């Protein structure tokens, strides 16, 4: 069973405890998106993947009402998760972090709708699908350029006040937006969800800002450009070999080594892959190795590109 509480400091622990049950979120979550969008697996395999994540000790599942494919199956991922938790009977142990503010008309597009009325009605629908009265963590999926950010965040505050959600989070935001949201929500804001991986390090500043404020930073698409990393000679590939683990597990262990508050949310559509990822919680990297990976990813990011260019020249 992975060590889900690894590395959590005192200030920080509070952001990762759920309000009602006192359960613990841990440092890694399952990202549910790929179980429900285009190319998704069948329902049995999807449910087996969620069950494998929970059986491996994960207690955080990230979802969104927009994780679906056709126009008619909005909320597919939330329904799937709601079904699994109801069948297991241990919903109290798990924090489902859902999101609202994106809309998929069914033609492959992802549109943004951050109007307060839309967010509130979307959250009511999410609660129904998740079979709960109050959503443990509700995140604004992305700022809507057509709606003042403070108005969308104000809607999250209203929802907490009305008991529709317990805690609020924000996604795809800048450092400045984290400050604005924190100013409005105060301690009701518990999380930021931005892209972060060895090939997408722009989110590092928002991780540091989240850390400063004691917020959980959920790193989405934590493996980044998997093809790019796997196909070049670089320290991630080298360290995976050295530790005798998959490149995926090594990448997650590196992200966890960046400090408290970092919570990668790897996606999976197979039981094997989520079990392998969950085992990253038990993989301790030597501090010099972790530093070398950080230097490479954060400061020598172009090295991956340089390797690719070298390969092109050599081809």
* Chain residues that interact with ligand NAP, rule: CB under 6 A: 31-34, 62, 171-172, 193, 220-223, 246, 248-249, 265-270, 273, 276-277
Measured distance CA(82)–CA(187) in Å, rounded = 27
Place of tokens 């928002």: 206
Contacts of 10 (CB under 8 A, 6+ apart): none
Q: How far is the CB of 133 from ligand NAP (least distance, A)?
A: 24
Residue closer to ligand NAP, measured from CB, 134 or 172:
172
Assign 18 to helix, strand or coil.
coil
The dihedrals phi and psi of 98, each to the nearest 5 degrees, come to -105, 175
CB of 115 to ligand NAP, least distance (A): 18
Which of 32/235 has CB closer to ligand NAP?
Answer: 32
For ligand NAP, which is the closer residue by CB, 98 or 257?
98
Least distance from C-beta 294 to ligand NAP, angstroms? 19
Nearer to ligand NAP, 62 or 166 (CB): 62
Q: How far is the CB of 277 from ligand NAP (least distance, A)?
A: 4
Crossing angle for the helix pair 287-294 and 247-257, nearest 10 degrees? Answer: 90
- What do you get for the CA distance between the two ends of the chain, in Å? 45
Angle at 166 between CA 161 and CA 172, to 5 degrees: 100
Percent composition of the chain: helix, strand, coil (DSSP 3-state, to 5): 50, 15, 35
Q: Rounded to the nearest whole angstrom, what is the least distance from the CB of residue 37 to ligand NAP in the complex?
A: 9
Q: Can you name the residues that pair with 24 across neighbouring β-strands?
A: 17
d(CA 78, CA 125) in angstroms, rounded, equals 10
Q: Count of H helices and E strands in the chain?
A: 13, 10
Smallest distance, ligand NAP to C-beta of residue 97, A? 9
Q: Which residue is nearest to ligand NAP (CB)?
A: 267
Q: Which is nearer to ligand NAP, 160 or 192 (CB)?
A: 192
> What are the distances in angstroms from CA 225 to CA 9, 216, 304?
31, 23, 11
- Which residue number, 206 or 277, has a Cβ lying nearer to ligand NAP? 277
Residue 8's nearest CA partner among 281, 292, 287 is 281
Minimum separation from the CB atom of position 233 to ligand NAP (A): 20
CB closer to ligand NAP, 134 vs 197: 197
């Amino acid at each position: 069973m992975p060590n889900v509480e690894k590395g959590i400091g005192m200030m920080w622990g509070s952001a990762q405890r759920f309000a009602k049950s006192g359960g613990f979120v841990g440092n890694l979550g399952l990202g549910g998106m790929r179980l429900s969008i285009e190319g998704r697996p069948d329902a049995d395999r999807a449910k087996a993947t969620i069950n494998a994540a929970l059986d491996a000790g994960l207690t955080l599942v990230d979802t969104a009402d927009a994780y679906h494919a056709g126009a008619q199956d909005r909320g597919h991922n939330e329904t799937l998760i709601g079904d699994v938790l109801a069948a297991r009977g241990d919903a109290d142990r798990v924090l489902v972090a859902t999101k609202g503010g994106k809309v998929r008309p069914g033609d492959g597009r992802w549109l943004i709708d951050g109007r307060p009325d839309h967010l509130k009605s979307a959250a009511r629908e999410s609660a129904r699908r998740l079979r709960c009265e109050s959503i443990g963590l509700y995140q604004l999926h992305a700022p809507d350029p057509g709606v003042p950010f403070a108005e969308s965040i104000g809607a999250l505050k209203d929802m907490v006040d009305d008991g529709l959600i317990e805690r609020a989070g924000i996604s795809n935001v800048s450092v400045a937006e984290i400050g604005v949201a924190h100013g409005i929500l105060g301690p009701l804001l518990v999380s930021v969800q931005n892209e972060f991986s060895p090939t997408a390090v722009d989110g590092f500043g928002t991780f540091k800002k989240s850390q400063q404020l004691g917020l959980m930073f959920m790193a989405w698409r934590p493996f980044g450009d998997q093809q790019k990393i796997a196909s070049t000679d670089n320290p991630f590939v080298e360290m995976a070999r050295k530790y005798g683990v998959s490149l995926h597990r090594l990448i997650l262990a590196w992200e966890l080594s960046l400090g408290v508050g970092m919570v990668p949310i790897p996606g999976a559509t197979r039981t094997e892959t989520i079990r392998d990822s969950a085992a990253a919680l038990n993989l301790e990297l030597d501090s010099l190795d972790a530093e070398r990976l950080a230097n490479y990813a954060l400061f020598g990011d172009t090295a991956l590109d340089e390797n690719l260019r070298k390969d092109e020249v050599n081809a």
